[in-house]
Chains A and B, each alone.
Chain A
Amino acid sequence: MPRPAPGTTRSAAAAERDLQLPRPRLAARDATAEAVAGIVQRPGRAVLTMIGTILGVGAFVAVLGLTATGAGQISHQFTVLEDTTVTVEDNGPANNTAPPNNNPAIGFPADADQIAGHIKGVTAAGVWWPVSLPQNASFTASLALGATSSQTINLLAASPGAVTAMGLSMAAGSPLTAYENTTRQHVAIIDTTTAATLGISAARLASHPAVFVNGIAYTVVGVYKSAQRVVTDESAMLIPENTALADYGNPEPGIGNQDEAQMVIATRIGAAQTVAKQIAAAELPTDPARLVVTSPPNPQNLQSQVSADLAGLFLVLALISLLIGAVGIANTTLVAVLERTEEIGLRRAVGARPRHIAAQFLAESTTLGTLGGLIGTCIGVGVVVIFAATKNWTAVLNPVYTLPAPLIGSLVGLLAGAYPALRAARTSPLAALRHG
């Protein structure tokens, strides 16, 4: 390998011009290659070093994802039904001294349904109450001895508006009408389960079957298969409000009695809060305090509360993990610098400048951090997706937080590598090469 002979007469100026051409530099691509080579030659250590960053970034992504998923789920639960239902209960007059079997008139006016209907946002509203029957009351479809009877049916009085607000989905026949209410007809609608128990099929409806409640006959005019409100999951028999008043008298007021008069109000989405504020004064201007209004919790408040609580706590944990990750990377990089003093000296001997040495170790720690961040993000996303899948929820991941998450790792690596890189750059090539 012959060396080209140097120029015969070399002037100092020419030599200096010559020297200025190859100024030492380390291409970014070479620096990255060196950093990656430095990492992959000790893969086990690299993984251990990255654990803190993996945990930190993973926790960050998972926490934000889980809170977003949970909040999404909460808002989902509050949509449609709960968010559109307002309940008003009759707590009775201020000083109710009426004897038990002489209950005061119900707190709602006769035109309660119409009054509620005038409030903006109300789609349907009506009064209902569970009719208080003596113990061992029997429900039968026939007076004949041995006929099927049932005692587990709830007899409810309901105004036409209440029937509408309950959102019944009819299997056969029709819901209770205003006419049947004002004329105190002995009619009823029952759910399909009750119908089956009593032996009334939808096909038999045309023949006006009757249900006897303690001997009083009610003609079944409709059978419903499901309801959105109030009678969602119980066997029930609904009779007109005025029929119930005539047959059984006033219900006992007072919350906690289980059979006080109530109003169920279906509202448009988002209107429940507003309706709840107005309904008591509208229905009973003389004594609005008698009516106790229950509205669904404001879903926005609930969401932000859950998010703030959970996210706040877990983000602190994520931050701690990141800090541990940074210390881990700083520690390992520092050890690597001390371990590789010889390598640093050699690199200096083959023309590396201190800044090239610093760049190499900085690139190494940053690459470690980025890798940790990437793995952490993947794990975080995986945790959110698996958690959502097991709960049958929809995973919600905000790309604004998730996509740049690996960069958190890069930043941690960059900061953690600063001091070791400085130490490496200050290593004297002489001290390094004396090792041997």
Chain B
Amino acid sequence: MSGPVIELDGLGRTYPGPPPVPALRPASLVIEAGDYVAVTGPSGSGKSTLLHLLGLLDTPTEGRYLLDGLDTSRLNDRDRSALRGRRIGIVFQAFHLLPYRSALQNVLLAQLYNQTPRGARLQAATEALDAVGLGHRLDALPTTLSGGESQRVAVARALVNRPSLLLCDEPTGNLDSANAAALMEVLDQLNASGYTIVVITHDPAVAAHARRAIAISDGTLSERIAAEHA
């Protein structure tokens, strides 16, 4: 088997005070390649802090975070940016699509900063949109897309660089149940084809899709050993 994608070793984040707020208490966690992990917890429990740390958008105050075996706490901003642009794809609750760009252009944006050769970009973006079932709406503007379609464009943008880790932050938070189910199906398929996925959610229905469930409460991680899915 390949090495773990994510290795957290006493990772913690305390927001400076006064009084200091320990948003994430030192936690250790290993996520293997191909894992499908759900992180659940009530709001204010530290879910977002964990997401930001995993997405290299924030720096931990203690512990180590190894991504693909690489100690990210030793990296400077340039290399963290490079890692973000190459190895991590993030799907946000609010989609964060650029309103004046077509679906295709929004996906192309994720290849802008990571030295993807210009000639290879279009094909990769088209393939990514195909993979989420939007191959027929390449030129649609976000304003003409439904919420479900918008989120699938965001998923395509997250996976266009074939990242090691697909991070999803409340991916169904802004979707109705039908669209949410369709999106989860897309994520399931991606996981089946080999992507390592971490979904952060408070929705038990979403968490049920994952094979591992990690609960977070008051900044403390705890893994429930769930019964294996059929």
* Chain A residues engaging chain B, CB cutoff 8 angstroms: 1-12, 15-16, 19-20, 22-27, 29-30, 34, 37, 41-42, 342-343, 345-354, 356, 429-430, 433-436
Give the distance to chain B from A105, nearest Cβ to Cβ, in Å: 93
Chain B residues near A347 (CB-CB < 8 A): 109, 112-113
Bound-state CA distance A25–B118 (Å) is: 13
**Which stretch from B38-46, B93-101, B222-230 is at the chain A interface?**
B93-101
Bound-state CA distance A430–B53 (Å) is: 10
Chain B residues near A346 (CB-CB < 8 A): 92, 96, 98, 109
| Contact B157 A350, beta carbon cutoff 8 Å | yes
Take A24-B82, A37-B101 as given contacts and tell me if A7 and B2 are in contact as well, using a CB distance cutoff of 8 Å: yes
Chain B residues near A356 (CB-CB < 8 A): 113
Bound-state CA distance A25–B83 (Å) is: 12
Give the distance to chain A from B48, nearest Cβ to Cβ, in Å: 8
Residue of chain B at shortest CB distance from A8? B2
Take A6-B33, A348-B57 as given contacts and tell me if A26 and B70 are in contact as well, using a CB distance cutoff of 8 Å: no
Q: 17 A-B Cβ contacts within 8 A?
A: A1-B131, A5-B194, A6-B2, A10-B68, A10-B69, A23-B78, A23-B82, A24-B113, A41-B101, A42-B100, A342-B94, A345-B96, A351-B86, A353-B77, A429-B57, A433-B96, A434-B48
How large, as a class, is the contact surface on chain B?
35 or more
| Contact B190 A1, beta carbon cutoff 8 Å | yes
Does chain A have a CB within 8 A of B168?
no
Take A1-B190, A24-B115 as given contacts and tell me if A19 and B58 are in contact as well, using a CB distance cutoff of 8 Å: no
Take A1-B159, A6-B68 as given contacts and tell me if A24 and B52 are in contact as well, using a CB distance cutoff of 8 Å: no
Residue of chain B at shortest CB distance from A433? B92
Interface residues of B in 73-115 (CB under 8 A from A): 75, 77-79, 81-86, 90, 92-96, 98, 100-101, 105, 109-110, 112-115
Bound-state CA distance A433–B93 (Å) is: 10
Chain B residues near A349 (CB-CB < 8 A): 55, 57, 84, 90
Interface residues of B in 1-20 (CB under 8 A from A): 1-3, 5
Take A1-B190, A5-B194, A350-B157 as given contacts and tell me if A22 and B55 are in contact as well, using a CB distance cutoff of 8 Å: no
Chain B residues near A436 (CB-CB < 8 A): 92-96
Give the distance to chain B from A353, nearest Cβ to Cβ, in Å: 5
Take A9-B3, A19-B79 as given contacts and tell me if A343 and B193 are in contact as well, using a CB distance cutoff of 8 Å: no
Take A30-B112, A350-B85 as given contacts and tell me if A435 and B94 are in contact as well, using a CB distance cutoff of 8 Å: yes
Bound-state CA distance A348–B110 (Å) is: 10
| Contact A1 B98, beta carbon cutoff 8 Å | no
Q: Which of B48, B112, B190 contacts A352 (CB 8 A)?
A: B112
Bound-state CA distance A62–B195 (Å) is: 63
Interface centre among A20, A42, A346 (most CB of B within 10 A): A346
Give the distance to chain A from B27, nearest Cβ to Cβ, in Å: 19
| Contact B164 A6, beta carbon cutoff 8 Å | yes
Chain A residues near B114 (CB-CB < 8 A): 22, 24, 350-351
Chain A residues near B78 (CB-CB < 8 A): 23-24, 353
Chain B residues near A42 (CB-CB < 8 A): 100
Given A1-B131, A30-B112, A347-B113, 17 other A-B residues pairs in contact with their CB atoms under 8 A: A3-B162, A5-B33, A10-B3, A11-B69, A20-B79, A22-B82, A24-B113, A24-B114, A42-B100, A342-B96, A349-B57, A350-B110, A351-B82, A351-B85, A430-B57, A430-B58, A433-B96
Residue of chain A at shortest CB distance from B58? A430
Take A5-B33, A6-B2, A34-B112 as given contacts and tell me if A15 and B127 are in contact as well, using a CB distance cutoff of 8 Å: no
Does chain A have a CB within 8 A of B215?
no
Take A351-B84, A433-B57 as given contacts and tell me if A25 and B113 are in contact as well, using a CB distance cutoff of 8 Å: yes
Bound-state CA distance A30–B115 (Å) is: 11
Residue of chain B at shortest CB distance from A31? B112
Chain B residues near A430 (CB-CB < 8 A): 52, 57-58
Chain B residues near A4 (CB-CB < 8 A): 162
Chain B residues near A12 (CB-CB < 8 A): 69-71
Bound-state CA distance A342–B78 (Å) is: 21
Take A22-B85, A26-B112, A353-B113 as given contacts and tell me if A6 and B162 are in contact as well, using a CB distance cutoff of 8 Å: no
Bound-state CA distance A352–B78 (Å) is: 9
Give the distance to chain A from B26, nearest Cβ to Cβ, in Å: 21
Take A350-B109, A350-B112 as given contacts and tell me if A24 and B85 are in contact as well, using a CB distance cutoff of 8 Å: yes
Chain A residues near B33 (CB-CB < 8 A): 5-6
Does chain A have a CB within 8 A of B50?
no
| Contact B3 A3, beta carbon cutoff 8 Å | no
Give the distance to chain B from A220, nearest Cβ to Cβ, in Å: 87
Interface residues of B in 147-180 (CB under 8 A from A): 157, 159, 162, 164
B 25-41 to A, binary, CB cutoff 8 A, 1 in contact else 0: 00000000100000000
Residue of chain B at shortest CB distance from A354? B77
Chain A residues near B93 (CB-CB < 8 A): 436
Give the distance to chain B from A239, nearest Cβ to Cβ, in Å: 88
Does chain A have a CB within 8 A of B128?
yes
Bound-state CA distance A16–B71 (Å) is: 9
Take A19-B83, A343-B98 as given contacts and tell me if A8 and B193 are in contact as well, using a CB distance cutoff of 8 Å: no
Give the distance to chain A from B139, nearest Cβ to Cβ, in Å: 15
Chain A residues near B190 (CB-CB < 8 A): 1
Chain A residues near B92 (CB-CB < 8 A): 346, 433, 436
3 smallest CB-CB distances across A and B, nearest first, come from: A351-B85, A436-B94, A41-B100
| Contact B112 A1, beta carbon cutoff 8 Å | no
Bound-state CA distance A343–B94 (Å) is: 12
Chain A residues near B109 (CB-CB < 8 A): 346-347, 350
| Contact A23 B112, beta carbon cutoff 8 Å | no
Interface centre among B57, B96, B114, B195 (most CB of A within 10 A): B96
Residue of chain A at shortest CB distance from B163? A3
Interface centre among B85, B95, B109 (most CB of A within 10 A): B85
Chain B residues near A10 (CB-CB < 8 A): 3, 68-69
Bound-state CA distance A315–B110 (Å) is: 47
Chain A residues near B81 (CB-CB < 8 A): 24, 348, 351-353
| Contact A22 B115, beta carbon cutoff 8 Å | yes
Bound-state CA distance A313–B200 (Å) is: 65
